[in-house]
Every structure is written in structure tokens, then in C-alpha cells.
Amino acid sequence: MSWSHDMSSSNTVHNNVTPNTVTNIGGANANIGIANASIGSASATSTALDNVAASEAALRINPVDVAPTFQLPQKTKARPRHPLRQLGVVGLDSLEPVILAALATETPLLLVGAHGTAKSLLLSRLCEALDLQWRHYNASLVNYDDLIGYPLPNSNGTLTFVQTPASVWNAQAVFIDEISRARP
């Protein structure tokens, strides 16, 4: 006797079979071959299977018994699954690979989004976590001298810029907020 369960209609189907029948439990991907079924330590023959088939309750196949077993991976000190969440920045999971790649390659990154989407929070938390010296400028309020420094002509006709504590030159990270509102 074979036992199969049609998952689409929830009907149980019973057929008389020989010991070499392949039984399907729960779909096409869960085939189980029964060659010489054994009960206890004795080999069952087709006669023994017919005897067992007489009592439907005597033969029950538990899908858990035939399911492949596996162990969960041990916890390791691998990189965190969502490092931005650990910094308290949520909602940017889809951008996380791009943000981490920009950090790893020291490539400038432009984040564009609606107000309140954690762009400023992201930069401040990353800079604090990485212990970076950073500058925050509001493009609608900043002057050229604030960013670059004050121009000072040299005797040879070139300009040097006198840096201020707020100038961009010594910063490891620069955040220019409201860049769409910058003055021309």
C-alpha cells in the first residue's frame, strides 16, 4: 500500500503497490523510494505489506521522519546582518550595500530623499561610529568662505586660502544638507 497526499485538494489517496513502488508525499519534490521495507529488524515482503495494508492505521508515514535533517549554523563573530540597524538607522536596508560599499571604497555618496528619511541621521551615526571628524553644512546658508576658507593673495600672484575651524579641508566626512537650495 502506498500513501500519498494531494496538497491541492486535500484528498488522501490509497493504492495497492509492490515493495518497489515510489511513494509521493506532499508534492513532486518529496519522492521516497521503498525498495525492501523493514519493520523492526525483519525484511518485509509483498505479503507482509499486504497484511499491513489491511490495517490502514498500522502504516503511517510521518513526513518529519523522512525530511532531511540539518543543523543550524553555529553563531560566529561574522559581520552583523544589518549594521545600520545597530546604529539606530532603520528603513535603509535596500541601500545598505551601496552605503557600505561607498564607505569601504571611500567614494562620495549622494543621498536624495524626502524630508524625514534619516539621511542626516545616517551620516551622523556613521561618523560617530567610525570616529570620523566631519562637517555639516546647510547649503542654503553657507558661504564660499565658510567652506574653502578666506582667499589671501601671495606676492607671486597666486591665491592661498586661510583655513578656518569650519572649513572643509581637514574633515574626513562632509555633509552638505539642502544642496538643492544652494545659492548660485
Residue 158 has a pLDDT of 92
Report the amino acid identity of residue 146: D
Looking at the domain assignment, is residue 76 inside a domain? no
User: Which of 66, 101, 122 is the C-terminal boundary of a domain?
Assistant: 66
Distances (CA, A) of 97 to 78, 89, 101, 168: 16, 14, 6, 27
Comparing 64-73, 120-129, 143-152, 155-164, which segment has the lowest mean pLDDT?
64-73
Residue 79 has a pLDDT of 59
Report the candidate in 128, 111, 117, 116 with the shortest Cα–Cα distance to residue 173.
128
Same domain, residue pair 50 and 88: no
Range of the domain at 175: 83-181
In the chain, what percentage of residues exceed pLDDT 70?
A: 57
This prediction's pTM: 0.48
Residue 6 has a pLDDT of 42
Mean pLDDT of all residues in 78-107: 84
Same domain, residue pair 95 and 163: yes
In the predicted model, is pLDDT for residue 84 greater than 60? yes
Distances (CA, A) of 147 to 44, 54, 69, 166, 182: 87, 89, 61, 7, 13
